[in-house]
A and B are shown apart, each in its own frame.
Chain A
Amino acid sequence: MSELEPAYPWIAFSMGILITMLVSVVRIDTKRPAQIFALLTLVVTLFLSMSVNVETPQSLFNGVFEISALTTTALSLLCGLGIFFIIGTSRYLTKEEIHLSDYYHLLLILILGASVLICSKDLLVTFIALEVMSLPAYTLAGFRRNDSRSNEAAIKYFILGGVVGAVFLLGASFIFGATGTTHLSEIYTWSQKAQGDLTLFYMGHILILISFLFKVAAVPFHFWKPDVYEGSPTSVTGIMATVMSTASFVVLARILHIADFKSPELAPYFETLKQLIRVAAVLSLIIGSAIVITQTNLKRMLAYSSISHTGYVLLGLLGSMNQPDLIYSVWIYLFGYSLMTCGLFVLVSQSEPKLDAGVELIDLTGLMKKQPFNVVMWSLFLFSMAGMPFTIGFFTKYFVFISSVNTGEVFYVVIAALCAVVSAYAYLRPIALMVMRDADPSAAEWKGSVASHSVVAVSAAIVFALGVMPNALIHLLKGIPLQH
């Protein structure tokens, strides 16, 4: 059994899911036990994943499952986010009458899928993990059954996701046709000796790339995001924005480093590929930041904001394509972005709009008089989104910019910086509404449980602490390479 030892966190996670599922069947009348077992599962997994020895990366199951500093750190992050969301949005679920015990094992399966996705070194396993992650997400998106927007979001997400899954499979089969393997490290070895007409491989590669550009909602594959974000329950939107994006970005990084592009045979294609990423990054930045300032719905606004953040991460990935050790700027971005997004979505989930309307910006008016503490929290997260100093958001942008500048992508940094200025307007406007405007008559009430306030406070504390002393985090993430 000792060779399975590094996989214990994942095994424990799966067993926890089974137990949670069983519990939810046995105690179908109440959701508390499922909630508690879900939390327990995540906590145990978190501790196990932190205790795995990853000094030397290991591969399991014929090398399709990678256990390394990257995958255990990511698993810890995902578990942490899961814990935050379960604690922070418990009251929200009750309020929306979707506090079902099913919710928890679906959530856990989603997180498991995401964590396996990160570990996967084989295209087929990637596909399975992708579906394991996505199917619960489609279901969860439709959990507000009485709201047509939620149903719409679920259907839309499912159809588009299904099509894109097919695109991925098509790409994977092309790659298999070209290389005779679906195994990432074998593809890498193959690419070092590859010669002749490689069009089939390139087509397959572009297709799987597109499918993950869709997953991270890079322009022009971003259409689904605002609708799905708006319709889904806020707690699920939060999971999508953090857990699913993080996992998808890690896979995207793997796809972009799938082959040895330094070999002269592949070099021209690599240049085209970089150009493609540049265009996607710039489009995501410009379109994301331009639309974000026109939004009045909070969740749609956060959706467009996440599209512009995708642009920054793509810039970081571009830097890592030029110089592989710069991948740490992507890790820092994902870590910081997940934290502040988590806090923001828990805050959004505290709203109680009248007449089942969405959460609008106008609902924030006059919050300063009602909940001054929460205004501080909002401001901190929004400042972090805008990239202000003394928040982790400053360093996430800073390292992406640095890695781009160091690899000669100065023009794109200038565009990104201009977009940051534009989107800062969108992030500062809610603060202005909270502080400077009196409450609008139609403004929603804001109520948070002690649990959700504490989650917000803890993530705010981390966002601030890392904004002041980022050294520990940078040191940790700098040492995480991408394995071939």
Chain B
Amino acid sequence: MSLSLLIFLPLIGFLFNGFYHLKMARSEQKSSAMISGVIATGVMFAAFLVACTYYYMLSQLPADGRLFEQTLFQWMKLGGLNVSFALRLDSLSSLFVLIITGVGSLIHLYSIGYMSEDETPAKYFSFLNLFCFMMLNLVLGSNLPHVFLGWEGVGLASYLLIGYWYQDKDKVLAGQKAFIMNRIGDLGFLIAMFIAYKFVGSLDLIDLQKATLTPHVTTVFGLLIFFACTGKSAQIPLFTWLPDAMAGPTPVSALIHAATMVTSGIYLLTRLSPIIEASNTVLTVIGMVGVTTAFVAALMACAQTDIKKILAYSTISQLGFMFLACGVGSFESGVFHVMTHAFFKALLFLGAGSVIHALHEEQNIFKMGALRAKLPITSITFIAGWAAILGLPPFSGFFSKDEILWQSLSSPHGNVMLFIIAAASAFLTAFYMTRLLVLVFFGKSRVDPAKQKHIHEAPMTMAIPLMVLGVLSLVGGWFGEHHEHSGQEMMVMAASVILAGLGAGIAYQKYKNFEGEEKTNQFLMSGMGVDLAYLSVFAKGTGTLSKWFTTYVEEMIVQRTLRWSTAVVGLSGNLFRVVQVGSTQAYLMMILIAIVAIMAWVFLGVGQYGKL
């Protein structure tokens, strides 16, 4: 067994399904969701088993030597730069690999049911496998270029899957938006990589962790890396793509835009934590951005009416919590929250998918209600996810979220302000999640009568992942490292549980007998107009600038110069052609003249070197 199995298994799935799709598309047949789905799920589950084995093997090693490494080939060698294509598994990447393959295989399984009526399931599964391949490269890569390969690769897969239903123009645009916003962040990654090479001389992650840099370089490097993370992990200022990314199939939202890809920013920060921690400026920026995102996104989530958009803003908000953890220097609690969040947010998304599936693509929560009886499995598991995200003991979110809240107050980099905003966000989280839960599963039914009688519980392939994730959402928090709780910490815990209860209670009171549609705040609903601002400032600004360049620089200077120079060249071409008369006598004459001229030049001292 070797580490490369981890990345090759999804790759095999990708290639199989890719060729399967092409073959079927060529003969204009529909590919089978069962065949492609079983293959795709099978390779992911096999990868999960491999990951489990490695997790066990890793835990058997002494604590300071927990590392497996495998070099596959030398990737590039240019001057002093020597980049090998090597996989490296330590405790951090091992956790991420478990999440990717574990949650990944559950979502693959779920997709078999969800995509059963799709036209091109093999294409879908090949993209999904490609995503897992790239994501595993991201977390297993031993150097920055390798991480960047995965970083770009997951961006590509995400783009392909958001715009998967490409006949719908809005979905295509959403895919492009995600890609472009991510590319902006990538600029930070690239420049950070250049800086690392310039000042460290190596791009290997272990070398980078050990490197000592001057304070300025550390700050710039850290900020650039963080900027890259704001793109991939949807933080302020680059968060606007994630709500739109909900255009993709719901399992995609669960896997890529909740559980794995969007957390790669946390992975990168944690991986480079020695450099990040070395600069207080960077930590402060990360903490501030994280907590602001958590609060603002939670606020926006309260005003959404689309079930997936609520979950999308919720994801942004939860990612904000994770960045807050990183920002106060408690990377391990950030990663812990990545894990619990992967369980409960994937569960919530899949539950939402099940609801949408049951109601035939209905996504407005004001056209749902009282679904608890008709969708028993979905509603029970959804309630587990709700309890987890609220942070109710003993559900998983309780452990990770309270750890973050406690760290934001007590860590050397934390302060009261961070804590208060974070606690307010937790309160809002409870509010919007309860609003969602009550409007969808309780109260009176506001479902379109035409759809009323077709409501059906999800098939087994969809129900099993829900149940597994439900259990994980319940017990996932117990995997964390436990320590003695001080009295102060107990108070923080109690306060957060009370806040969550309060938020939930208010929402329950407000929405339990709700009828009709709520008039929500348009400003919050549209993401505080950030999209509009970007559009008018950057898109329009660039447009104006390029128009200016077209009219003045291009037309007046470039084109004019070009026209003149081509005219001169063309003219001289025609001029030289004049001597090309075609008559042999004339040619002979010219040869003779040339010979005489050369002789005269050489021997009569016309040349610059004088008479010989």
* Residues in A lying within 8 Å of B, measured CB to CB: 155-156, 159-160, 163-164, 167, 199, 202-203, 206-207, 210, 214, 220-221, 223-224, 226-227, 268-269, 271-272, 275-276, 286-287, 290-294, 422
Which residues of chain A come closer than 8 Å to B580, judged between CB atoms? 223, 226, 291
A290 engages B569 (CB within 8 Å): yes
B577 engages A160 (CB within 8 Å): no
A–B complex contacts, Cβ < 8 Å, 17 sampled: A159-B584, A159-B588, A160-B588, A167-B595, A199-B612, A202-B612, A206-B598, A207-B595, A210-B595, A221-B594, A223-B579, A227-B582, A268-B612, A269-B612, A276-B598, A276-B601, A292-B573
B569-612 interface (Cβ within 8 A of A): 569-570, 572-574, 576-577, 579-580, 582, 584, 587-588, 590-591, 594-595, 598-599, 601-603, 607-610, 612
B6-43 interface (Cβ within 8 A of A): none
Bound-state CA distance A199–B580 (Å) is 34
B573 engages A293 (CB within 8 Å): yes
Known interface pairs A164-B591, A203-B599, A223-B587. Does A271 touch B609 (Cβ–Cβ under 8 Å)?
yes
Chain A interface, DSSP helix/strand/loop, else mixed: helix
Known interface pairs A226-B580, A276-B602. Does A160 touch B612 (Cβ–Cβ under 8 Å)?
no
Q: Nearest Cβ distance between residue A203 and chain B, in whole angstroms?
A: 7
* Residues in B lying within 8 Å of A, measured CB to CB: 569-570, 572-574, 576-577, 579-580, 582, 584, 587-588, 590-591, 594-595, 598-599, 601-603, 607-610, 612
Which residues of chain A come closer than 8 Å to B570, judged between CB atoms? 293-294
Please provide the 10 A-B residue pairs with the shortest distance between their CB atoms, ordered closest to farther. Answer: A290-B573, A294-B573, A220-B594, A223-B587, A290-B572, A291-B573, A287-B576, A272-B609, A156-B584, A271-B609
Q: Nearest Cβ distance between residue B602 and chain A, in whole angstroms?
A: 6
Which residues of chain B come closer than 8 Å to A272, judged between CB atoms? 602, 607, 609, 612
Using A202-B603, A223-B591 as known contacts, list a sample of 19 further A-B pairs with CB atoms less than 8 Å apart, ordered by residue number in A. A163-B588, A163-B591, A164-B591, A203-B603, A206-B599, A210-B595, A210-B598, A220-B590, A223-B579, A223-B587, A268-B609, A268-B610, A275-B607, A275-B608, A276-B598, A286-B572, A291-B576, A291-B580, A294-B573
Which residues of chain B come closer than 8 Å to A275, judged between CB atoms? 607-609
Which residues of chain B come closer than 8 Å to A159, judged between CB atoms? 584, 588
Which residues of chain B come closer than 8 Å to A167, judged between CB atoms? 595
Q: Nearest Cβ distance between residue B586 and chain A, in whole angstroms?
A: 8
Bound-state CA distance A203–B609 (Å) is 16
Residue of B nearest to A422 (CB): B569
Which residues of chain B come closer than 8 Å to A220, judged between CB atoms? 590-591, 594
Residue of A nearest to B574 (CB): A294
Which residues of chain B come closer than 8 Å to A156, judged between CB atoms? 584, 587
Residue of A nearest to B588 (CB): A163
Q: Nearest Cβ distance between residue B585 and chain A, in whole angstroms?
A: 9
Bound-state CA distance A16–B569 (Å) is 49
Which residues of chain B come closer than 8 Å to A294, judged between CB atoms? 570, 573-574, 577
Which residues of chain B come closer than 8 Å to A293, judged between CB atoms? 569-570, 573
Bound-state CA distance A355–B573 (Å) is 29
Which residues of chain B come closer than 8 Å to A163, judged between CB atoms? 588, 591
Q: Nearest Cβ distance between residue A217 and chain B, in whole angstroms?
A: 12
B584 engages A155 (CB within 8 Å): yes
A206 engages B579 (CB within 8 Å): no
A290 engages B582 (CB within 8 Å): no
Which residues of chain A come closer than 8 Å to B594, judged between CB atoms? 210, 220-221
B587 engages A224 (CB within 8 Å): yes
Bound-state CA distance A294–B570 (Å) is 7
Bound-state CA distance A203–B612 (Å) is 12
Bound-state CA distance A155–B570 (Å) is 31
Residue of B nearest to A222 (CB): B580
Bound-state CA distance A259–B588 (Å) is 30
Residue of B nearest to A426 (CB): B573
Q: Nearest Cβ distance between residue A310 and chain B, in whole angstroms?
A: 15
Residue of A nearest to B565 (CB): A422
Bound-state CA distance A459–B588 (Å) is 37
B591 engages A160 (CB within 8 Å): yes
Q: Nearest Cβ distance between residue B594 and chain A, in whole angstroms?
A: 4
Residue of A nearest to B566 (CB): A425
Residue of B nearest to A160 (CB): B587
Bound-state CA distance A272–B607 (Å) is 7
Residue of A nearest to B568 (CB): A290
Which residues of chain B come closer than 8 Å to A269, judged between CB atoms? 612
Bound-state CA distance A223–B570 (Å) is 19
Which residues of chain A come closer than 8 Å to B599, judged between CB atoms? 203, 206
Bound-state CA distance A286–B576 (Å) is 10
Bound-state CA distance A251–B219 (Å) is 65
Which residues of chain B come closer than 8 Å to A291, judged between CB atoms? 573, 576-577, 580
B576, B579, B602, B608: the one contacting A290 at CB < 8 Å is B576
Bound-state CA distance A188–B365 (Å) is 98
Bound-state CA distance A291–B591 (Å) is 19
Bound-state CA distance A239–B569 (Å) is 31
A160 engages B584 (CB within 8 Å): yes
Which residues of chain A come closer than 8 Å to B573, judged between CB atoms? 290-294
Bound-state CA distance A275–B607 (Å) is 9
Which residues of chain B come closer than 8 Å to A207, judged between CB atoms? 595
Q: Nearest Cβ distance between residue A164 and chain B, in whole angstroms?
A: 7
Known interface pairs A269-B612, A291-B576, A294-B577. Does A206 touch B590 (Cβ–Cβ under 8 Å)?
no
Residue of B nearest to A197 (CB): B612
A214 engages B591 (CB within 8 Å): yes
Residue of A nearest to B587 (CB): A223
Which residues of chain B come closer than 8 Å to A422, judged between CB atoms? 569
Residue of B nearest to A159 (CB): B584
A223 engages B576 (CB within 8 Å): no
Q: Nearest Cβ distance between residue A191 and chain B, in whole angstroms?
A: 15
Residue of A nearest to B607 (CB): A272
Which residues of chain B come closer than 8 Å to A221, judged between CB atoms? 591, 594
Bound-state CA distance A459–B587 (Å) is 35
Bound-state CA distance A137–B587 (Å) is 19
Residue of B nearest to A209 (CB): B598
Residue of B nearest to A210 (CB): B595
Q: Nearest Cβ distance between residue A225 and chain B, in whole angstroms?
A: 10
Bound-state CA distance A227–B584 (Å) is 10
Which residues of chain A come closer than 8 Å to B598, judged between CB atoms? 206, 210, 276
Which residues of chain B come closer than 8 Å to A226, judged between CB atoms? 580
Q: Nearest Cβ distance between residue A199 and chain B, in whole angstroms?
A: 7
Residue of A nearest to B593 (CB): A220
Known interface pairs A206-B598, A272-B602, A275-B607. Does A223 touch B577 (Cβ–Cβ under 8 Å)?
no
Q: Nearest Cβ distance between residue A396 and chain B, in whole angstroms?
A: 23
Which residues of chain B come closer than 8 Å to A214, judged between CB atoms? 591
Bound-state CA distance A287–B576 (Å) is 7
